[in-house]
Amino acid sequence: MPWNGIDPIVVSSQIVMALQTIPSRQVDATKTPSVVTIGSIKGGVRGNIIPDEVEMEGTIRTFDQNIREQLHERIKRTAENIAASAGATAEVSITQGYPATINDPALTNKMTPILQRVAGEGFSEAGPVMASEDFAFFAQDIPSMYYFIGSAPKNQPAYTNHSPKFVVNEDALPMGVAAMTALVLDYTQSY
């Protein structure tokens, strides 16, 4: 009978909901945006059987390493305490992911006019983006600049590359090649 056991589906649901309040209620939202996402939940094999366990996977996004560390600690504490309140246990494993990708200000100031020249009216400056990129490791050691080439089909929504609705307008590829070529030529002529 259900009352004779611990339902990890219910416990995991409570954990997911509680994790959503961490960025908005437990860290200073005025310092940097933060997001905690549970993107995968696996548990059970039949609709009428309470499973032994549930596995959840997610991601954490923020621009600030100190906030990231606070999120790690609070996620662990929240999951363990909610599980304990139901008589369950939670094993929390957080892998250090990618750091924030931050453009070098001097390099970006130098390269932006080149992108403006190549793209013309198609150029626009994007605000901070919570992309998760291994490029960030390079940017920590070498002055770097990360930029996007817009490839959304004309007159259609621009879905992100992780969306099942993502479509690349291949007409944007020549612009990408021209932008990269101009950046490389200007950079190498400067040194």
Q: Which helix (H) or strand (E) holds 40?
A: strand 34-43
Residue type, 20: Q
Question: Of 121, 125, 170, 191, which one is the catalytic site residue?
Answer: 170
Question: What's the rounded Cα separation, in Å, for the pair 4 and 71?
Answer: 34
Nearest partner of 109 among 141, 64, 143, judged by Cα: 143
Nearest partner of 130 among 71, 82, 52, judged by Cα: 71
Q: Is 170 a catalytic residue?
A: yes
Question: What's the rounded Cα separation, in Å, for the pair 185 and 189?
Answer: 6
60 has which bridge partners?
36
Question: What's the rounded Cα separation, in Å, for the pair 151 and 133?
Answer: 19
Question: Of 53, 98, 146, 187, which one is the catalytic site residue?
Answer: 98
35 has which bridge partners?
61
Active-site residues, by number, are 98, 170
